[in-house]
């Protein structure tokens, strides 16, 4: 079992008012908890490379030394990372929706494979193939709960910003990205990620002995982090999602029958 090296907050953090925390943190755009934010972002960006993680953390600390704040844009080379996080967040959040809705229980239960297929079906116009989704899942699955939380908070912050802009000193809409959410609101990200972690380690159905997230390799949130969990919103599957899952089942049965037929022919 792996636990992130993120220190506990000095006092218990509870976030009952989302509007207040989003508006306050993003309007000031200051890193108020660097000892929590910087390690958190390091794990999210480089879950499998300790050297790269340390280098990134050094860069982030240097921002505080030279600018007394954070630059308005993501550092060079991390732009693509935001897109990758979005893909992983799509997969894992849909998986959690499958779990919450108790979908496919008679067909093996919810799975990452089914979530990947749903994401691919929705993202065909973006040129997103299942092979690439599986590749990204393999890279970031051990921090999927973290990047999904940061991405979800990013969307919520953008929604609120469009309804009521943050003001002259706040982040612009294009600067509201998951990377910034983790830097400016690490407690908020951790609070949501705690529930995503619970979903990921839970066995989704009696038919599946393994959880979606690997309990041995997952970067777990420290038990003493001193943050009250926040339950993320659940989303019902749309009609098209149900069609995709039904077609998947029918297609799988058809391929199984075809393999059986081919086997008899070869005999």
230: which 2 tokens?
């926040």
Cβ(9)–Cβ(227) below 8 Å: yes
Asked whether the beta carbons of 166 and 158 are under 8 A apart, the reply is no
Contact 184, 37 (CB under 8 A): yes
Q: For the chain, what are the domain ranges?
A: 2-236, 237-267
Q: What is the pLDDT of residue 12?
A: 95
- Of 32, 27, 30, nearest to 169 by C-alpha is 27
CA of 126: how far to CAs of 2, 87, 122, in Å? 35, 11, 9
Give me the tens of pLDDT residue by residue for the chain, a chain 267 residues long: 999 999 999 999 999 999 999 999 998 888 889 999 999 999 999 999 999 999 989 888 887 765 545 554 456 667 788 889 999 999 999 899 888 765 555 556 788 988 898 888 877 655 478 889 999 999 999 999 999 999 999 999 999 999 888 877 788 888 899 999 999 999 999 999 999 999 899 866 555 668 899 999 999 999 999 999 999 887 766 666 666 666 765 444 433 333 333 433 333
**Cα–Cα separations (whole angstroms), residue 99 to 94, 126, 168, 201, 217:** 9, 26, 42, 12, 21
CA distance 60 to 42: 9
Contact 123, 86 (CB under 8 A): no
Round to whole Å and give the CA distance between 200 and 194: 10
Which residue in the block uniquely carries the two structure tokens 């982040």?
Answer: 171
Predicted pLDDT of residue 101 = 67
Beta bridge partners of 220: 3
Q: CA-CA distance, 253 to 259, in Å (whole number)? A: 10
- Residue pair 4/222 in contact (Cβ under 8 Å)? The answer is yes
User: Can you read off the two tokens belonging to residue 92?
Assistant: 């894992």
């Amino acid at each position: 079992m792996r636990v992130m090296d993120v220190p506990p907050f000095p006092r218990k953090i509870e976030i009952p008012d989302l509007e207040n925390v989003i508006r306050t943190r993003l309007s000031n755009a200051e890193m108020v908890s660097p000892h929590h934010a910087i390690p958190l972002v390091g794990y999210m960006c480089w879950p499998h490379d300790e050297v790269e993680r340390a280098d990134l953390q050094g860069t982030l600390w240097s921002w505080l030394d030279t600018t007394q704040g954070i630059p308005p844009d993501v550092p060079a080379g991390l732009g693509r990372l935001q897109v990758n996080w979005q893909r992983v967040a799509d997969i894992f959040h849909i998986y959690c929706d499958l779990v919450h809705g108790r979908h496919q229980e008679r067909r093996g239960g919810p799975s990452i494979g089914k979530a990947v297929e749903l994401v691919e079906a929705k993202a065909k116009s973006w040129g997103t193939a299942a092979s690439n989704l599986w590749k990204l899942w393999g890279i970031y699955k051990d921090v999927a709960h973290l990047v999904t939380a940061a991405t979800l908070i990013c969307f919520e912050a953008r929604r609120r910003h469009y309804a009521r802009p943050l003001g002259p000193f706040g982040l612009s809409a294009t600067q509201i990205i998951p990377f910034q959410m983790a830097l400016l609101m690490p407690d908020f990200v951790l609070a949501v990620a705690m529930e995503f972690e619970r979903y990921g380690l839970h066995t989704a159905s009696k038919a599946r002995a393994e959880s979606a997230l690997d309990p041995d390799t997952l970067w777990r949130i420290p038990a003493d982090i001193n943050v009250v969990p926040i339950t993320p919103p659940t989303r019902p599957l749309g009609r098209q999602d149900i069609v995709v899952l039904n077609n998947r089942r029918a297609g799988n049965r058809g391929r199984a029958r075809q393999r059986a037929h081919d086997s008899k022919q070869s005999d």
